[in-house]
Amino acid sequence: MSAKLPMKELFDLPEGVVYLDGNSLGPLPKGALERARTVIGREWGHELIRAWNTAGWMALPQHVGDRIARLVGAAQGSVATGDTLSIKVYQALAAALKMRPGRRAILSDSGNFPSDLYMAEGLIRTIGKDYELRTPAPEDVLDRIDEDVAAVMLTQVDYRTGRMHDMDAVTRAAHAAGAVMIWDLAHSAGAVPIDMAGCRAEFAVGCTYKYLNGGPGAPAFIYVRPDVVEAVEPALAGWLGHDAPFAMELNYRPAMSTERLRVGTPPIVQLAILDRALDVWEGIDMADIRTASIALSELFIAEVEARCPGLALASPRNPAERGSQVSFAFQHGYPAMQALIDRGVIGDFRAPDIMRFGFTPLYIDEADVIAAAETLETVIAQELWRDPKYRTRARVT
Ligand SMILES: *Cc1c(COP(=O)(O)O)cnc(C)c1O
């Protein structure tokens, strides 16, 4: 039987805050601070360089990768951790293009996160051949998969609207056309059930500071389908992706697993915090998370639509087509979100006009949803967003 949700007691959440931004930065799990203290004070401080062996630092990236693998339906040993998601996107895409040398198109969509598209553009400039990045509207992707396409690279859950691609259907279409499939699970891992092994995509990438609560700057992950590992030529051939890093060989020889997509020294403090954060998921069934997330999202939509007629739902109405977030479009979305945050309800804003709310059943319950909708109603009905102090854009929105 799965653990009972929510599990607020497992997090250090500030008093008086309804946190609806765990889709952007998960909150601090209890025990994470203590773990960081141990790694810094005892392991680094006392063990010094010996800690790579004595404190298990060298084994930590793979250990954490295996824990993430369980959450996304991937086999043990098929997920590597490290770097940032943007780097992992680059690596997966570079490898995919090498796997289809005769083809010149990368197919993504206009709902993808800008960094994924920028990394693709940068890769194309680096290769210097006549590659082309295609970005149709998300609903047109299936029709645009053809035999020019080397790689289909999509983010399953749209960061702005929460719109969700059908991983199985798109992967099947990509494979039928002979293309390599890359999924970005940034807004999926820890949010919706994923079956990486079952969907048969060659690559998946994701980050761990969103729904997995690994903290700001927590390392990314990359999955490679085990039977294609040997066809993966690492574009960033760092020493920790080498088959025997400490043999200090003059030439690069890739590791025989997903580990070949590691680059350099792992961020041990962040990995240790992430390892602690993943304890929260022990005994959790992702199907229960999904059920609870849909219930919370449906309640929020109903409450907001009843209370705030000026806001337009920007997410799919059908919960089956939506990830674990709900977005509303509002012309004054930026100042309205600042006014809301000022009153303890934390969501975020995505240009041009999206107010975004993440629903994370680990620490959000129905009372939080109602409280958030009530506060939003006050902000909108009383036009509290008109206060000039909410107009100045911060660096992070
Ligand atoms: C959050 C997110 C990123 C961020 O990439 P970083 O390199 O970790 O900053 C990239 N892509 C998608 C789809 C995201 O949601």
Domain containing 364 equals 8-28+285-390
Q: Which among 159, 207, 209, 211 is the best mutation to test ligand 1's pocket, defined by most ligand atoms within 8 Å of the CB?
A: 207
Tokens representing 183? 């999924």
For the segment 251-271, the average pLDDT, to the nearest whole number, is 98
- The single residue of 131, 209, 221, 359 carrying the catalytic annotation is 209
Give residue 2's pLDDT band: very low, low, confident or very high (50, 70, 90). Answer: low
Q: Give the CATH number, domain containing residue 298.
A: 3.90.1150.10
Q: Are residues 149 and 42 in the same domain?
A: yes
143-173 pLDDT, tens digit per residue, is 999 999 999 999 999 999 999 999 999 999 9
The protein residue with its alpha carbon nearest to ligand 1, atom 8, reads 85
Question: Which residue, among 158, 275, 254, 263, has the nearest Cα to 208 in the 3D structure?
Answer: 275
| pTM (two decimals) | 0.97
Q: Are residues 100 and 207 in the same domain?
A: yes
Local structure of 27: helix, strand or coil: coil
Give residue 261's pLDDT band: very low, low, confident or very high (50, 70, 90). Answer: very high
Q: Are residues 238 and 371 in the same domain?
A: no
Looking at the predicted structure, is the pLDDT value of residue 129 above 90? no
Looking at the predicted structure, is the pLDDT value of residue 92 above 60? yes
- The single residue of 83, 116, 184, 275 carrying the catalytic annotation is 184
Q: Which atom of ligand 1 sits closest to the CA of residue 87?
A: 7
Q: Are residues 156 and 235 in the same domain?
A: yes
The protein residue with its alpha carbon nearest to ligand 1, atom 13, reads 113
58 occurs within a structural domain: yes
Looking at the predicted structure, is the pLDDT value of residue 208 above 90? yes
Q: What is the reported pLDDT for 342? A: 97
Residues with Cβ < 8 Å from 316, sequence gap 6 or more? 161, 162, 163, 164, 322
Give residue 206's pLDDT band: very low, low, confident or very high (50, 70, 90). Answer: very high
Domain boundary residue, one of 233, 256, 281: 281
Which burial class, exposed, middle or buried, applies to 320 when counting CB atoms under 10 A from its CB (0-12, 13-18, 19+)? Answer: exposed
167 occurs within a structural domain: yes
Q: Are residues 262 and 308 in the same domain?
A: no
Domain boundary residue, one of 281, 314, 341: 281
Tokens representing 174? 């990509």
Q: Are residues 202 and 291 in the same domain?
A: no
115-124 pLDDT, tens digit per residue, is 999 999 999 9
Question: Does the C-beta of 300 come closer than 6 Å to ligand 1?
Answer: no
397 occurs within a structural domain: no
Q: Are residues 194 and 299 in the same domain?
A: no
3 occurs within a structural domain: no
Q: Are residues 265 and 363 in the same domain?
A: no
290 occurs within a structural domain: yes
Q: Are residues 59 and 201 in the same domain?
A: yes
Q: What is the reported pLDDT for 394? A: 86
Largest alpha-carbon pair distance within the chain? 68
- The single residue of 113, 203, 334, 390 carrying the catalytic annotation is 113
The protein residue with its alpha carbon nearest to ligand 1, atom 2, reads 186
The protein residue with its alpha carbon nearest to ligand 1, atom 1, reads 186
Q: Letter for the amino acid at 30?
A: K
Q: Which among 25, 81, 85, 182 is the best mutation to test ligand 1's pocket, defined by most ligand atoms within 8 Å of the CB?
A: 85
The protein residue with its alpha carbon nearest to ligand 1, atom 3, reads 85
The protein residue with its alpha carbon nearest to ligand 1, atom 4, reads 85
227-243 pLDDT, tens digit per residue, is 999 999 999 999 999 99
Q: What is the reported pLDDT for 322? A: 98
CA distance 21 to 159: 12
- What is the count of structural domains for the chain? 2
Q: Which atom of ligand 1 sits closest to the CA of residue 116?
A: 11
275 catalytically annotated: no
Question: Does the C-beta of 85 come closer than 6 Å to ligand 1?
Answer: yes
Is the backbone of residue 395 left (phi > 0), alpha (psi -120 to 50) or beta? alpha
Tokens representing 44? 């680094």
Looking at the predicted structure, is the pLDDT value of residue 99 above 80? yes
Question: Which residue, among 124, 109, 123, has the nearest Cα to 156 in the 3D structure?
Answer: 109
Give whole-number Cα distances, 365 to 5, 8, 361, in Å: 8, 9, 7
For the segment 289-317, the average pLDDT, to the nearest whole number, is 98
251 occurs within a structural domain: yes
Question: Does the C-beta of 115 come closer than 6 Å to ligand 1?
Answer: yes
Q: What is the reported pLDDT for 73? A: 98
Domain boundary residue, one of 262, 281, 300: 281
Going from the Cα of 159 to the center of ligand 1, the distance in angstroms, rounded, reads: 9
317-372 pLDDT, tens digit per residue, is 999 999 999 999 999 999 999 999 999 999 999 999 999 999 999 999 999 999 99
342 catalytically annotated: no
2 occurs within a structural domain: no
Looking at the predicted structure, is the pLDDT value of residue 221 above 50? yes
Q: Are residues 319 and 207 in the same domain?
A: no
Q: Are residues 366 and 243 in the same domain?
A: no
Question: Does the C-beta of 86 come closer than 6 Å to ligand 1?
Answer: yes
Q: What Rg, from alpha-carbon coordinates, does the chain have? A: 22
Q: Are residues 268 and 330 in the same domain?
A: no
Looking at the predicted structure, is the pLDDT value of residue 1 above 80? no
395 occurs within a structural domain: no
For the segment 47-51, the average pLDDT, to the nearest whole number, is 98
